[in-house]
Amino acid sequence: MGTKNMEAAAKHQIISGKPIVGGIVLGLTRLVWPGDIHITEVTVPAAGVKKEVKSLDLAVEATVGELQELQKSALKKMGGPVAKIFEAQLLIASDQDFLTKVKEDIKARRRNAAFVYNEHVVKATAPLKSSHDAYIRQMSQDIEAVAERIVAHLSGNSQKLLEFAPNTVVVGKSFSPGEVLSFRQQKVIGFIVKESGPNSHMALIARALYLPVLAIDSLTPAQFRTSVDVILDSMAGKLIISPTGEELSEYQQKRKRLGPALITRIKGLKQIPPETLDGVKVTIATNLTLPGPAEDLLAEYKIPVGLYRSEFLYLSNNRFPDEETQFEHYEQVARRFANTSVVIRTFDLGYDKLTSDAVWPLEDNPALGWRGIRPMLDMKNIFKAQLRAILRASSRKNLKILLPMVSDLAEIEKTKKLIAQVKFELKKKRIPFDENIPLGIMVEIPSAVLMADLLFPKVDFVAIGTNDLTQYVLAADRKNTKVAELYSSFHPAVLKMIYEAVEAAKRNHRPVSVCGEMAGDLLALPFFIGIKIDSLSMTPARIVDLCRMVNKIDSNLLPPLVKAVMASPTAEVVIKRLESFKNALESRKKRS
Amino acid sequence: MIKKTINVQNRLGLHARPAAMIVTTASKYQAELFITKDGMRVNGKSIMGVMMLAAEMGSELLLELDGPDEENAMADIIRVIESKFGEGE
C-alpha cells in the first residue's frame, strides 16, 4: 500500500491531577493496566474437580506466604502501622468461610478455580465499590489485590516479574501496596494512577518509600500504550508529557532545590546546627507538610521538625481522618525523626485552608473567624481523636504539641483539660505515651503578644507565626491584592511585636521559635539572631542557604543593627538597612 | 445460642480494620458467630462476610453466638464494638 508507518512523537501535553504523594521525577512511562490476566471459563471433567480444589489451596498457600514476606519487609522498613495493611489482606486470603463457598461452587458447577474464585470476588466487592465512602471502597481494593495474587498463582502467571527500565514511572489504574513495594525494589521512581485516596494503603506505602504518586481522574490506558517521556510533578499536581527543553531544565533545577541536590548540599555543610563566627549556635528546623523527599537526610542530620502541618490529612481527603490514620502518620514521622524532635501543630483549618466540606460556614471575615484552635475546641471529639493519635505516637518522647491561633488563656486551659482526659483514657488502657509531652502555642494574634506574661507560663514553648502576625498587626489581609503593599513582615510594627514576644519568652524562660516565611528569609536572619530567637523553622529548600549565612555572621555586630531596624519608620527603611548588612556580609571572604 | 442487637458506634463504620478486629476476636472462641444487617446474614469469622455488610455508623447489627463459650465470646465482641474499635469516635 505504500503508506509510511509514521511514528508520531507523543504530543506535548500538560495534564493536571490530584497530588497523592508529593515529589518531582523525570522519567519514562510504562503502562501496567489490570486485565493483563485474562480469566477464561473452563469446564472441568468430574475427575479433575479434586485437582482444581487442590490447586486453589496451593494458590492460597503461596499467596499467604507472599503476603507474610511483604508484611515482614514492611515492618522492617516502614514500621508497624504500615505493616498492618498486610494483616487485613492476610485475613482475606485465608478466609475459610469464603474459600469453602468457592470450593463447593467449583465442585457443583465443575468450573476452573480461577473463574469461580474471581466470580465470588466480583460478587463480594460489588456492594463495596459503589460506596461513596472511601474507606469502604478501600476494602474492595484490598480484596481485589489478594484476588489478583491468587488468580495469578492459579494461572501459573506468578513467575512473571515485570522488568523495568531505569527511571520508570509506572502508569496504571491503581496499585496494591505489595506491588508498590516490589516495583520500588525494581527501581521504579513514580506512579500515575487513575484512582487513589491520599490515605489509601497504596499511598501510605508510597509515602513511606518517597515515591511520588499522581492521580488522574480521566486516565485511560490508550494514552500510555507506548512509553512517553514525562515530568511528574505531584507537588503541583501536574504531569508534563513530552516536555520541552525549557521545561526539562526548569524541572531539573527544581529537583536540585528539592530533591537529591538538596541532599547533596546539606552534606556539604560544616556543621548542623550552624554556628556564627563567634560561636553562637542557631537551631535550624524544618517545616513538613505533605511528606516528601529528603526527610531521611534531614533526620540523619538531626534537623528537628519545627512545624508539622497536620491539616494536610484533612485537606487532601475533605474530611477529618480517623484516629488510626492519624496515628499511622504521626508514628511514621516520630519514627523517622526518632533521633531529634517533631512539633505537631494541631489542625489549623479555616480562612484559606478550607474545603467544600459542609462543616465550614460562609463567613464575612474569614481571617477573623472560625479558624485555628477555635473550630477544634468546638468539635471536641475530633480534637480529642487528634490529641489521642499524637499521644499514642509519643512513646519515644520526641513529639510536641503546638496549638494554632491562640488568643486567650481559656483556649489553653480547655486544651489542657482535653489532654488530661486523653491521658487518663490511655492510662486506663495501658497504652504508653509521653507523660510530659510539651505543649506550645503559636503566637500570631496581637492579644497573645500583649498578654504573653499571662499565657507563656502556662505552656512549654512558643512559636511565632509571622505570616498571620503580620496581617493582624497591620490589619492587611495577606491574600488581598488591593492591600498587598501594606503587608510586609518587615514593617517596624511587626518587628516590635516579634521583639515583645521574644522578650516575654525570655522573661518567662520559654524557648521561642519563628515559623512562617520570614524564618527562611536571609534578610531577616541577622535580626532574629540579634534578638536571640532560639530556633528558626523553615521549608527544607531554605535550610542550606540559611546555615551558610549563619556562618558569616558575627553576633557582636548585631545589637546596633537591631536597634536601627526597630527605630526605622517604615518597612522600606528596615529592608534597606538589612540589605546593606547582608551585602556587607556577602562580600566578606567566607571563613571556613 | 444467644442473640443481641447492637449499633455500630464508630464514625467510620465497619471498614477493614474494625472488620478484622471482629473476625480476630470471634476466632478466639469455639462458638459460631453470625451477624445480620438489613436482612443480610454473614459468618462473623469470615472477613469477607463482615466486610460485605458495609455497615456504616448507626447500622443495627444482630449478633448470634452458638457454642460452649458463647457467653464469653458475646461479651468480648460487644466490648470491641462498644469501644469503637479504639478509634475514639
A370 in reach of chain B (CB within 8 A) = no
Nearest CB partner across the interface for B51, out of A133, A139, A382: A139
- List the single residue in A97, A138, A142 with the smallest CB-CB distance to B43: A97
C-alpha radius of gyration, chain B, whole number: 11
**A139 and chain B: CB distance < 8 Å anywhere?**
yes
pLDDT at A135 (0 to 100): 75
Q: Is the peptide bond before A273 cis (omega within 30 degrees of 0)?
A: yes
Residue A477, classed as helix, strand or coil, is coil
Task: Please give the CATH topology (third level) of the domain spanning A13-27+165-247.
Answer: Glucose Oxidase; domain 1 (3.50.30)
- pLDDT of A591 reads 47
Q: Where are the beta strands (DSSP E) in B16-59?
A: 32-37, 40-43
Residues of chain B positioned with their CB less than 8 A from the CB of A124: 48, 51-52
Which residues does chain A have within 8 Å of residue B19's beta carbon, measured at their own beta carbons? 88, 139
The pLDDT of residue A129 is 83
Contact of A43 with A268, CB cutoff 8 Å: no
Q: Where are the domains of chain B?
A: 2-86
Q: Which residues of A touch B87 (CB under 8 A)?
A: 322-324, 385
Which residues fall within 8 angstroms of residue B52, CB to CB, at 6 or more apart?
A124, A127, A128, B40, B42
- Domain pair A13-27+165-247 / A270-587, same fold: no
Chain pair A-B, CB pairs under 8 angstroms: 79
Give the separation between CA A198 and CA A191, rounded to whole angstroms. Answer: 13
Q: What is the pLDDT of residue A159?
A: 47
Catalytic residue among B15, B36, B66, B84: B15
CB contact under 8 A, A92 and B54: no
Identify which of A92, A95, A136 has the shortest CB distance to residue B15: A136
B-facing residues of A in 372-431 (CB < 8 A) are: 381-382, 384-385, 388-389
| Joined grid coordinates for residue A476 | 492587611
Nearest CB to B16 within list A95, A138, A381: A138
Domain B2-86 has CATH 3.30.1340.10: yes
Query: How far apart are alpha carbons A330 and A344 in whole angstroms?
Result: 8
* Residue A263: per-residue pLDDT: 58
pLDDT for residue A317? 58
- In CATH, which of 3.20.20.70, 3.20.20.60, 3.10.180.10, 1.10.274.10 is domain A270-587? 3.20.20.60
The tens-digit pLDDT sequence of chain A (592 residues) is 333 333 446 789 999 998 888 788 999 999 887 655 567 888 989 899 999 999 999 999 999 998 998 888 877 766 666 677 788 889 999 999 999 999 999 999 999 999 999 999 999 888 888 777 777 778 888 898 899 889 888 877 654 556 788 899 999 988 877 788 778 777 899 999 987 766 567 777 787 677 899 999 888 888 888 889 999 998 888 999 999 999 999 998 887 666 555 656 777 787 889 999 999 999 999 988 755 556 777 888 899 999 998 987 776 556 788 898 899 889 989 998 999 999 999 999 887 776 666 678 888 888 888 899 999 999 999 999 999 999 999 999 999 999 999 999 999 999 999 999 999 999 999 999 999 999 999 999 999 999 999 999 999 999 999 999 999 999 998 777 788 788 899 999 999 999 999 999 999 999 999 998 899 899 999 999 999 999 999 877 788 889 999 999 999 999 999 999 999 999 999 999 999 999 998 887 544 4
pLDDT for A298: 85
Using a CB–CB cutoff of 8 Å, tell me whether B80 touches chain A. Answer: no
A30 φ/ψ sector (left φ>0, alpha ψ -120 to 50, else beta) = beta
Using DSSP bridges, classify how beta strands A305-309 and A342-345 pair: parallel, antiparallel or unpaired. parallel
Report yes or no: B15 at the A interface, CB cutoff 8 Å: yes
Mutate to test the interface with B, among A71, A118, A323 (most CBs of B within 10 A): A323
Instruction: Using a CB–CB cutoff of 8 Å, tell me whether B75 touches chain A.
Output: no
CB of B84 within 8 Å of a chain A CB? The answer is no
Q: Smallest Cα–Cα separation from A336: which of A389, A396, A267?
A: A396
> Hey, which residues of A are catalytic here?
201, 515
CB count within 10 Å of CB A82 equals 24
Answer yes or no: are the C-beta atoms of A181 and A70 closer than 8 Å. Answer: yes
Distance CA(A140)–CA(B15), nearest Å, equals 10
Q: Where are the domains of chain A?
A: 13-27+165-247, 46-159, 270-587
Interface with A, mutate which of B10, B41, B51 (most A CBs under 10 A): B51
Query: Are B19 and A139 inside 8 Å of each other by CB?
Result: yes
Confidence label for B56 from pLDDT (cuts 50, 70 and 90): confident
CA distance A117 to A532: 68
Residue A571: other Cβ atoms inside 10 A: 20
Whole-angstrom distance, CA of residue A192 vs CA of residue A17: 9
- Report whether A476 contacts A426 (CB < 8 A): no
The three-class DSSP label of residue A78 is helix
Would an 8 Å CB–CB cutoff place A324 in contact with chain B? yes
Residue A76: the pLDDT is: 74
Q: Which long-range contacts (CB under 8 A, 24 or more apart) does A39-42 make?
A: A39/A114, A39/A115, A39/A118, A39/A151, A39/A155, A40/A112, A40/A115, A41/A111, A41/A112, A41/A115, A42/A111, A42/A112, A42/A115
Across the interface, do A92 and B89 touch by the CB < 8 Å criterion? no
Domain at A46-159: CATH code: 1.10.274.10
Distance CA A422, CA B85 (A): 16
